[in-house]
Amino acid sequence: MASQYKEYAIIYYTDDKHQLAQRRNLGITWDTLPSMGLATTSQVMYVYGQDLPFDEANITQWFTSLRKGTATPVKQIAEAKDANFFDLWLKDTEKATRESWEEELVKNREHDIAVFLFSSENVSYQQRGFAF
């Protein structure tokens, strides 16, 4: 299939176990193989759906959506997941900040404190935020 899309992208594969660690750079955050991702020259990442079978019809559909500009970038998928997560679980939760961390959290002896730490699946984000 690489020859079909050579005018749009250079397609590579790897079976080197050391290169598999680099998959996160493409937005692939799971360990299941095979997996496929695309990095554009403008650093936008797209991933082939984790739940999609690797067959010609699905791969053709994925490349077609990339070519037509209808594919959803990894960052947009992760932001939607984050928004849903916040709406469901953290909307009434106070956000800890660098300034409030020590004064209000560490030194507070009147209340027990639960701190929730999380990180987005989007590999371009470092630790996304924290709340208590």
The pLDDT of 88-110, averaged and rounded, is 74
Pairing outcome for strands 45-47 and 37-39: antiparallel
Beta bridge partners of 81: none
Confidence of residue 127 (pLDDT cuts 50, 70, 90): very low
Which pLDDT band holds residue 132 (cuts at 50, 70, 90)?
A: very low
**25: amino acid identity, one letter:** N
| Confidence label for 117 from pLDDT (cuts 50, 70 and 90) | low
- List, in sequence order, every beta strand (DSSP E) within the chain: 37-39, 45-47, 116-118, 129-131
Note the pLDDT of residue 70.
94
CA 82/CA 80 separation, integer angstroms: 5
Q: What letter would DSSP give residue 124?
A: T
CB-side exposure of 56: number of CA atoms within 13 Å? 3
